[in-house]
Chain A
Amino acid sequence: MKVRSAFVSVALMVAGASLLVGCATGPQELRGTGDLGVIIERERGSLKIVDSTRFEILHRVDGLGDLSHATVKYSRDARYAYVFGRDGGLTKVDILRGEIVARTVEAGNSVGGAISQDGRLVAVSNYEPGGVQVFDAETLELVADIPSWVREGAGRSKVVGLVDAPGHKFVFSLYEAGEIWVADFDVDDRASPEIRRYADIGRQPYDGLITPDGRYYIAGLYGEDGLALLDLWDLDGGVQRILDGYGRGEEPLPVYKMPHLEGWAQADGKLFLPAVGRHELLVVDPNREWREVNRIPIHSQPIFAVARPDGRQVWVNFAFPDNNAIQVVDVVEMEVVAHMEPGPGVLHMEFSPRGEHLWLSVRDENRVEVYDTATLERIATLPVETPSGIFLTYRAHRIGL
């Protein structure tokens, strides 16, 4: 009996010890990543990984560099987040373990990123030196370098509005040069993509978007009232101007912050675009030759206009000094149906994949709020230091996100 009980206790001890080891080193439970997301902590240079079902913070990851204007793309398995920092840093984060798995710093000053259709390439757009650098998504080794020459050898242009497009393409705009470039990586040697340039698209493109179907690329112009449209199904057709002269010669207001087109809003078959220097959303109908079909008066100058996934609502946030407010536009009524003031510095909004919740960051009060989009009630608050971008993992499977 004695021997037997000693044996049992040893066995129990071994089992206990292995349980402890299991807890310390391995994942505690199997789980998917489909309801996870990351939130940028802008000033601290870190991010928080959140569970969007339980409204919980799972991890914080530090050491990501300068994250002003940072953006995030996901690997196609939605396990890894690629974080693009302002200082040219590109970091690959394992969101299940909350760890950095790779990091590279190539350019001096970056502003955007994209992941290729097949998930094998990650592209970074740079201000300084201007261009696009393309990395292997697995290792973050440099694959291709595309300098954005204004003219060969005559200085580089800042690159804005970088997106992925079907056919292993990246599309982007050149700010000083006023061009759109399409880089085609469907080639034998991915170090030498086929580049197609579209010149004279308009003055100072400041951002770009690709429609959710991956067909149209649109660059917003700062230097002119209008947008430049490229139909990726008809690359020989060239770039056309849409919404030309939407300001109708009126003096624009001072623009304290450039609008973002990346959070495109396509709803009810129409596109809702932030107007530069105006308190308006511009509504265009792609099926009616991209004509303006409406313009919606709003509280202040819009930064993001994002559509709820079902397209019934468009939520808008605003430029400084009105960045304490948000408004909800009803797409059927074509007017503002709700005005809310969540707090100072509302920088970004993100819908849950099916649109029942909206997450928003309140930078100056170090919190992220979650709203119920049907009742417009606040249902959760999470502590996040100077939060900016919120990126849920559904983005892994969307063109242009």
Chain B
Amino acid sequence: MGGESVTRGRATRSRRGGRAWWGLALFVMGALTAPLGSLSAGEEISGERQERLIHILRHECGSCHGLKMRGGLGPALTPAAIQARSDEYLLETILQGVPGSPMPPWNAIVTREEAAWLVEQLREGVVK
């Protein structure tokens, strides 16, 4: 690089950041109280709804995580990329979002069973 200079803007406040703790508390509570039962609920979800969920995964999730789940503004969600994460962690992240980040809670869009099914699809690398 050639020359470089830094100009400081004025100090900033964090409004959304301030709310992050509240969201985080909810997230932790959600994780603790979540039933850790069956995550394989695929048979309860109709074929039509499964198709819709895959569409949401590819296009809506894909707008941040990439059409092929290789990452973007959000992290990659390929089987290799999520290997170290537990099913419960992924499930709660889908349902509650990640406070302080652009990852929204999807619990108004998908049910717990559907989120669990989506985790399975991510593990299997269905969208690629």
| Chain A interfacial positions (CB closer than 8 Å to B) | 42-43, 66-69, 86-87, 109, 111, 127-128, 146, 158, 160, 175, 178, 187, 189, 192-204, 206, 222-225, 228, 236, 238-241, 245, 247, 249, 251-252, 254-258, 320-321, 345, 363-364
- Give 13 A-B contacts (CB < 8 Å), ordered by A residue: A86-B70, A86-B72, A109-B71, A111-B72, A192-B2, A195-B3, A196-B4, A224-B12, A238-B8, A239-B9, A240-B9, A241-B12, A255-B102
Q: Does A197 lie within 8 Å of B6, measured CB to CB?
A: yes
Q: Given contact pairs A146-B1, A197-B7, A223-B14, enumerate 18 new A-B contacts (beta carbons under 8 Å).
A: A66-B67, A68-B67, A68-B72, A127-B71, A127-B72, A127-B73, A195-B1, A198-B8, A200-B8, A200-B9, A201-B9, A202-B12, A206-B73, A228-B9, A238-B7, A254-B108, A258-B64, A364-B55
Contacts of B68 in A (CB 8 A): 66, 68
The CA-CA distance from A240 to B8 in the complex, in Å, is: 10
**Chain B: which residue is nearest A184 at the CB level?**
B2
The CA-CA distance from A222 to B102 in the complex, in Å, is: 7
The CA-CA distance from A203 to B9 in the complex, in Å, is: 12
Q: Name the distance in Å between B91's Cβ and chain A's nearest Cβ.
A: 17
User: Secondary structure at chain A's binding surface: helix, strand, loop or mixed?
Assistant: loop
Q: Does A196 lie within 8 Å of B72, measured CB to CB?
A: no
Q: Known contacts being A109-B72, A225-B15, A257-B60, is A196 close to B104, with CB within 8 Å?
A: no
Q: Does A68 lie within 8 Å of B63, measured CB to CB?
A: yes
**Chain B: which residue is nearest A193 at the CB level?**
B2
Contacts of B7 in A (CB 8 A): 196-199, 236, 238-239
The CA-CA distance from A202 to B59 in the complex, in Å, is: 29
Q: Name the distance in Å between A256's Cβ and chain B's nearest Cβ.
A: 6
Q: Does A249 lie within 8 Å of B15, measured CB to CB?
A: yes
Contacts of A109 in B (CB 8 A): 66, 70-72
Contacts of B63 in A (CB 8 A): 68-69, 257-258
The CA-CA distance from A199 to B4 in the complex, in Å, is: 12
Q: Does B105 contact A (CB under 8 A)?
A: yes
Interface residues on B, range: 35 or more
| Chain B interfacial positions (CB closer than 8 Å to A) | 1-17, 19, 55-56, 58-60, 62-64, 66-68, 70-73, 97, 100, 102, 104-106, 108-109
- Of B4, B14, B15, the contact of A195 (CB 8 Å cutoff): B4
Q: Name the distance in Å between A237's Cβ and chain B's nearest Cβ.
A: 9
Contacts of B10 in A (CB 8 A): 200, 240-241
**Chain B: which residue is nearest A67 at the CB level?**
B67
**Chain B: which residue is nearest A241 at the CB level?**
B10
